[in-house]
Amino acid sequence: MSTDGFRDQVSSAPGAQFPPEKGRYLLFVSHCCPWAHGATIARELKGLEEYVELYEIAPVMGPEGWYVDKKDYPDATYLLDLYKRQVPDYSRRATVPTLFDKKTQRFVNNESHDIIRMFNAEFDGDRSVDLLPDELAETIARESEWIIDGISKIPLGILTGTDKEEVQRKKLLLVQNLQKLDALLADRKYIMGDKLTELDVRAYPANVRYDIIQTVFPQQEAEVLRPIREAYPNIHRWIRDLYWNHKAFRNTTKLDEVVENLRSKPFTPADWSPPQPLIESL
């Protein structure tokens, strides 16, 4: 815990401060957020519904970030208000996902990747699902550098960027990495081959949103940053396979909330119209 974020760990080790007990944890999420989406996918893949309850936040943010419901928190308006109860001088944004311990009334962690790994390894969930096999851990770490940092994090930077040279650099990097991922998936079911891993869980949320976000790009950007369903057939197949053949991906994909969030953003044109129907546009 610090003014920068919460990075404690749920652990199955004896004497752990935050043990993986049923009914103990609450996960703050907004379904529009790709980082929260990865955590909800992992939670359902591992079958942790009895361990981790969801607190679902509306997709439209306010001046201080994510709202919480007054019915649940009469003395708070924002998730940030709850953060500041624990850390009064908290200096950053409140983010989702955030894992909360109901027993101690403490926030545990607000880093999506940490939460996914805790769900995978520390809770007594579905043991047939292992999102980080030992033999793939090193390769997953290496590949995530360009798949997560080079694809998932870039579209928002293009939409909000003010430095033309930096925006151009991000555009070229995004296209390069989408092409690389499409080539990688040419003869693979999943990113790591025939095994579903945390890379699929972490990469899917940004990619399933991409064709919706792409329609928000200014025309000159959209001509370069083409829709996945048109330009990247192997990524498109991978997205559709995860959505239609894995209920953890399908049940947690709320594209209507992505649209609602985008409509509220200042960079979205007033006359913007998302692709319809949303699911069939994947």
Cα four-point dihedral sign 124, 130, 131, 136: positive
Q: What is the pLDDT of residues 257-281, one digit of tens each?
A: 999 999 999 999 999 998 876 766 5
Angle at 79 between CA 4 and CA 213, to 5 degrees: 85
Which structural domains are found in the chain, ordered by start?
A: 25-122 (3.40.30.10), 134-245 (1.20.1050.10)
List of E strands, 75-152: 98-101, 106-109
Rounded CA-CA distance 196/248 in Å is 12
* Catalytic entry in 33, 36, 41, 140: 33
Is residue 218 very low, low, confident or very high in pLDDT (cuts 50, 70, 90)? confident
Q: What is the pLDDT of residues 11-46, one digit of tens each?
A: 999 999 999 999 999 999 999 999 999 999 999 999
**Mean pLDDT within 242-249:** 98
Residue 257, pLDDT score: 97
Q: What is the pLDDT of residues 165-201, one digit of tens each?
A: 999 999 999 999 999 999 999 999 999 999 999 999 9
Residue that has been written with the tokens 């047939």 in this structure? 128
Look at residue 1 and tell me whether its pLDDT is greater than 50: no
Q: Catalytic: 33?
A: yes
